[in-house]
Amino acid sequence: MLSKRSQSAQLPTAGHPEESGPRHVAIIMDGNGRWAQKKGKIRTFGHKAGVESVRSVVRFARQTGIQSLTLFAFSSENWKRPEEEVSVLMELFNLVLNSEVKRLHKNGVRLKVIGDVSAFDDKLKAKIQKAETMTEQNDALILNIAANYGGRWDIANAAQLLAQQVQQGTLQPEDIDEQKLGEYISTHDLPELDLLIRTGGERRISNFLLWQCAYAELYFTDVLWPDFTEQVFQLAVDDFNVRQRRFGLVGEQVSVPQS
């Protein structure tokens, strides 16, 4: 039997979001290596250059009232890159935490890290923990860094947490629905994902926010990450703002009547 209200987890309101803009934006920051190679430099030069783009998207998000910004910094598959590149990326993550956290805190940004942080060394784990605790009360923007993150890991991790409760007898299997599983997904305390941007020209998700992408609007640009500016970000937001989000309904059901 079909029930009138489906069992799906809460979704944002259908229609044109132009009045409020996206509340939660995620970015696959891709193209650093190619950017560097085009300049005759080694790939890691591109990763270093990409840090400036991170600063500018954080500024843009803060100034335009985006509530949450999730950035894909390192995927669970990126460990398979050459050792030298992986170690530069880890070093860079360390350096950025050292140099940026105070400024983020001063600007009211709350920093969070999602992903399997257990794989990082103790020093890095401690630094992440410290930054998260220091900025915990801030509410100008939630900056969510996905590090050693995989969308499949996120779902499997939620399933494992629920299975533990079933084993302890505190949860019944029949009480596991989309809503319940969603409570254990790493972004459960953030608004629903509205807009996913990928730079660097590829049109794929690369195991990023698989669960959260269910009804996200996707925006792909050929701009390589170190060249990404506030202007390009604005183009993506403008494009989002004219889309009609239907969430399975028909256009007439969601269009706002003209007064």
Q: How far is the CB of 81 from ligand IPE (least distance, A)?
A: 8
CA nearest to 222, candidates 241, 198, 240, 239 = 198
Q: Are 29 and 73 in contact (CB under 8 A)?
A: yes
How many residues bind to Mg ion according to rule CB under 5 A? 1
On the 0-12 / 13-18 / 19+ scale of CB atoms within 10 A, 70 is buried
The residue within the footprint of ligand IPE, chosen from 18, 136, 175, 202 (CB under 6 A), is 202
Q: Are 207 and 75 in contact (CB under 8 A)?
A: yes
The residue within the footprint of ligand IPE, chosen from 23, 34, 180, 246 (CB under 6 A), is 34
Q: Which amino acid is at 232?
A: V
Q: Which is nearer to ligand IPE, 17 or 74 (CB)?
A: 74
CA nearest to 43, candidates 106, 89, 104, 110 = 89
Does residue 30 have an active-site annotation?
yes
Q: Which is nearer to ligand IPE, 32 or 144 (CB)?
A: 32
- The answer to whether 75 contacts ligand IPE (rule: CB under 6 A) is yes
Q: Which is nearer to ligand IPE, 130 or 152 (CB)?
A: 152
The residues carrying an active-site annotation are 30, 78
Residues that bind ligand IPE (CB under 6 A): 28-34, 72-75, 78, 89, 200, 202, 204, 206, 225
